[in-house]
Structure 1
Amino acid sequence: MITVVVTGAAGFIGSNFVRLILEETNVHVVIVDKLTYAGHPATLVDLENDGRVIVFKDDITDEQAMQSIFHKYKPTWIVNCAAESHVDRSIDNPEPFLKTNTFGTYVLLEAARRFLVRADEHVRRDFRFLHVSTDEVFGSLGPEGKFSESSPYAPNSPYAASKGAADHFVRAYWHTYRVPTLITNCSNNYGPYQFPEKLIPLTILNALDGKPLRIYGDGLQVRDWLYVKDHCQAILQVLRNGRAGESYNIGGEEERTNREVVEGICDILQELMPANQNTCLVEKNLTKYTDLRQFVEDRPGHDQRYAIDPGKIRSELRWSPGHTFEVGLRKTVEWYLSHREWCRQVLGGRYDRQRLGLLAHD
């Protein structure tokens, strides 16, 4: 029986990954989550009722707690999804990003190294430590080209720098200590259970409430969008069949400008909940959701374009995304429309949808 430790599993990608592996495998899951603002107990309600799941409210920077979990549950797989992930918040305060994303990854790697020193040969043979990272570690692209596994690291935000540093530690623990590590660098994820500070869920909720739909700068920044379930399928493929010590880029190959994303959400909402049936828009004499668009000062250091070349994972592991952006975006809008109570719970007292990441002037 495989036991997998999933850190950050009360968050967006982690919770979706746990749901996927419970559906598709017979593994046992140990969830480790600090339950910060973006990791909420409401996301775990259905998971905690599964007899194969154990939940620990622990911080991955707690060395004693992490080593205790390794010793007690003897995991076959570690999937590190725990991270501070919002670029705007990293601009306001980089310290939590350094602590969780970089030092926390080191603590997990060290716990894994100590565990493997005492483990049986068959345990060492099957063990995998998969670190979920981001395309943002590679910096910004021009109008052409895509990031590959050999792209140089050039992080431009404190968030990206903290993830890049973690990636380097993961690589080092393979080359120095032979801990069987894997790194996945993904493009922008979207889908169910994403905390509503990111572009897509924030736009959905603000549109429903008749609030301004803030678009940074000219809105022409380009992102490669990946539906979260497709990403989780890729993670599972890498765990099962990836080569230790390797990194794999995971991308949806669905490039859109931020302006296109916002307008696409507005079009879907106009169909599912027309503006003339939404009291919040009627009271403002607005006839369509796009009237809520508001172009604001750009984010400091905003990367212009990201795009992932997933050729390696396609050819080696036969993975490809199952959702076009249009299909995935519609499913996402429908999910948030039917889960307003979840949104209310996770936002309550934690975030009132204000803009973050504006440089403070002392």
Structure 2
Amino acid sequence: MSKIDKHVKLVLTGAAGLVGQNLVVELKAQGYDNIVAIDKHAYNLKILHDLHPDITVIEQDLAEDGSWTDAFSGAACIVQLHAQITGKFPDLFVRNNIDATQRVLDATRKHGVPYLVHISSSVVNSVANDDYTNTKKAQEKLVSESGVQHCVLRPTLMFGWFDPKHLGWLSRFMAKTPVFPIPGDGRYMRQPLYERDFCRCIVRCIENQPAGDAYNIVGDTRIDYVDIIRTIKQVKKLRTPIMHIPYGLFHFLLRVYALFSGKPPFTADQLKALTAGDEFHGVDTERVFGVRQTPFVDAVRESYCDPTYSGIVLKR
């Protein structure tokens, strides 16, 4: 039984990012009509506003004090989506994953918002040791110790509409390049999670408000990286040949590319994470949230062949 109706105010932080863009689509599809979206990324926020002129958008930086905190007044729920995922400097991760989160929690307490859904990451359970992983662990600790009623969702690698990196970037790269490179044999098991399925889980948490629970949300499909690439090639009907490159050479090329790119779409650290051998165990989303996950091939087809959203790409 839902604890809130569909006309209450919902505030999404980091709303113009990948999850936020998909979540707004899902919330509106389910009848929610009082959505406030806060983000500092002007280009991506304009995409969100152009697609959904009926929602309230606020362009401000959560890591700085500002009038954005006024939007928390009267809210029934905060969905905390903001995150620094990639970057060359540790300070970026601290600023956007830790400092911004502290301000959001302060505003949540100040305005007496009764519930918060925190979007964490499966990396908090990972063997990885990098700026993203470490600050996401610290961010989750801030939430758990905040005194705010909340739940935590930890998704694995996600894909879907609007994606400027990960599978979205690989999909577009495959359509342009004469040859698609794969590190080593490509037999690196992944558990990709479809954004729309994840957003449906978020909506259930908004409605049912589990108290303090943390959920690992994992894609149902266990699939090797090379087979993900083959699936994308199949659904997009591409003829791009796939070439296997020795791991060491691939790693070197990524490091060289990063010297000339301010925001490399795929980094040496991400290659290391790809091959780390992590296996994640998640909840049964159908049993816990009533969300039956979309078959992988169908999800890839929706992501990269949809006439409305597949051609819209966010900036990083």
TM range (shorter): 0.7 to 0.9
Query: For residue 264 of structure 1, what is the amino acid of its counterpart?
Result: T
* Among 92, 95, 99, the residue aligned to 2:95: 99
Please report how far the alpha carbon of residue 208 of structure 1 lies from its aligned counterpart in structure 2 after TM superposition.
1.3
2:138 matched residue in structure 1:
165
Within 5 A, what are the aligned runs for 1:157-236? 157-174=130-147, 179-195=148-164, 197-198=165-166, 200-210=167-177, 212-236=179-203
* Among 22, 32, 41, the residue aligned to 1:35: 41
Q: Give the secondary structure class of the aligned counterpart of 2:146.
A: helix
Cα deviation code 1:178-230 (max 9, x no counterpart): x11111111221111111x22x1111111111255343454332221111111
Instruction: Tell me, in whole angstroms, the C-alpha distance in 1 between the residues paired with 2:219 and 2:140.
Output: 21
- C-alpha change, 1:314 and 1:168, in structure 2 (3 Å) is farther
- C-alpha change, 1:36 and 1:289, in structure 2 (3 Å) is same
- C-alpha change, 1:212 and 1:68, in structure 2 (3 Å) is farther
- 1:290 is the counterpart of 2:224: no
1:281 matched residue in structure 2:
none
Query: For residue 304 of structure 1, what is the amino acid of its counterpart?
Result: G
Instruction: Tell me, in whole angstroms, the C-alpha distance in 2 between the residues paired with 1:264 and 1:226.
Output: 15
Please report how far the alpha carbon of residue 22 of structure 1 lies from its aligned counterpart in structure 2 after TM superposition.
1.3
2:261 matched residue in structure 1:
none
- C-alpha change, 1:214 and 1:98, in structure 2 (3 Å) is farther
1:57 matched residue in structure 2:
59
Instruction: Tell me, in whole angstroms, the C-alpha distance in 1 between the residues paired with 2:243 and 2:39.
Output: 36
- 1:327 is the counterpart of 2:298: yes
Query: For residue 145 of structure 2, what is the amino acid of its counterpart?
Result: A
Unaligned runs of 5+ in 1: 117-123, 141-154, 275-287, 351-362
Query: For residue 24 of structure 1, what is the amino acid of its counterpart?
Result: Q
Give yes or no for contact 1:82–1:100 (8 Å, CA) kept in 2. Answer: yes
Within 5 A, what are the aligned runs for 1:84-123? 84-86=84-86, 89=87, 92-116=88-112
1:243 matched residue in structure 2:
210
Q: Give the secondary structure class of the aligned counterpart of 1:236.
A: helix
Q: Percent identity?
A: 20
* Among 5, 22, 28, the residue aligned to 2:28: 22
Query: For residue 138 of structure 1, what is the amino acid of its counterpart?
Result: N
* Among 137, 140, 146, the residue aligned to 2:124: 137
- C-alpha change, 1:67 and 1:43, in structure 2 (3 Å) is closer
Please report how far the alpha carbon of residue 330 of structure 1 lies from its aligned counterpart in structure 2 after TM superposition.
1.6
- C-alpha change, 1:17 and 1:338, in structure 2 (3 Å) is closer
- 1:2 is the counterpart of 2:4: no
Structure 1 residue ranges (4+ consecutive) displaced by more than 6 angstroms after TM superposition: none
Please report how far the alpha carbon of residue 111 of structure 1 lies from its aligned counterpart in structure 2 after TM superposition.
0.9
- C-alpha change, 1:338 and 1:79, in structure 2 (3 Å) is closer
Please report how far the alpha carbon of residue 33 of structure 1 lies from its aligned counterpart in structure 2 after TM superposition.
0.6
Please report how far the alpha carbon of residue 327 of structure 1 lies from its aligned counterpart in structure 2 after TM superposition.
1.0
TM-score by length of 1: 0.73
Q: Give the secondary structure class of the aligned counterpart of 1:219.
A: coil
- C-alpha change, 1:139 and 1:57, in structure 2 (3 Å) is same
Q: Give the secondary structure class of the aligned counterpart of 1:321.
A: coil
Within 5 A, what are the aligned runs for 1:282-321? 288-291=239-242, 294=245, 296-297=250-251, 299-300=268-269, 301-302=272-273, 303-311=276-284, 314-315=286-287, 317-321=288-292
Instruction: Tell me, in whole angstroms, the C-alpha distance in 2 between the residues paired with 1:8 and 1:156.
Output: 24
Please report how far the alpha carbon of residue 133 of structure 1 lies from its aligned counterpart in structure 2 after TM superposition.
1.1
Give yes or no for contact 2:180–2:240 (8 Å, CA) kept in 1. Answer: no
> Which structure: larger Rg?
1
Instruction: Tell me, in whole angstroms, the C-alpha distance in 2 between the residues paired with 1:100 and 1:321.
Output: 33
TM-score by length of 2: 0.82
Query: For residue 46 of structure 1, what is the amino acid of its counterpart?
Result: L
Matched length: 288
Instruction: Tell me, in whole angstroms, the C-alpha distance in 2 between the residues paired with 1:28 and 1:314.
Output: 27
Instruction: Tell me, in whole angstroms, the C-alpha distance in 2 between the residues paired with 1:242 and 1:314.
Output: 17
Please report how far the alpha carbon of residue 294 of structure 1 lies from its aligned counterpart in structure 2 after TM superposition.
4.9
Q: Give the secondary structure class of the aligned counterpart of 1:79.
A: strand
Q: Give the secondary structure class of the aligned counterpart of 2:25.
A: helix
Q: Give the secondary structure class of the aligned counterpart of 2:50.
A: helix
CA RMSD of aligned residues (A): 2.4
Give yes or no for contact 1:98–1:162 (8 Å, CA) kept in 2. Answer: yes
Query: For residue 183 of structure 1, what is the amino acid of its counterpart?
Result: V
Unaligned runs of 5+ in 2: 1-6, 253-267
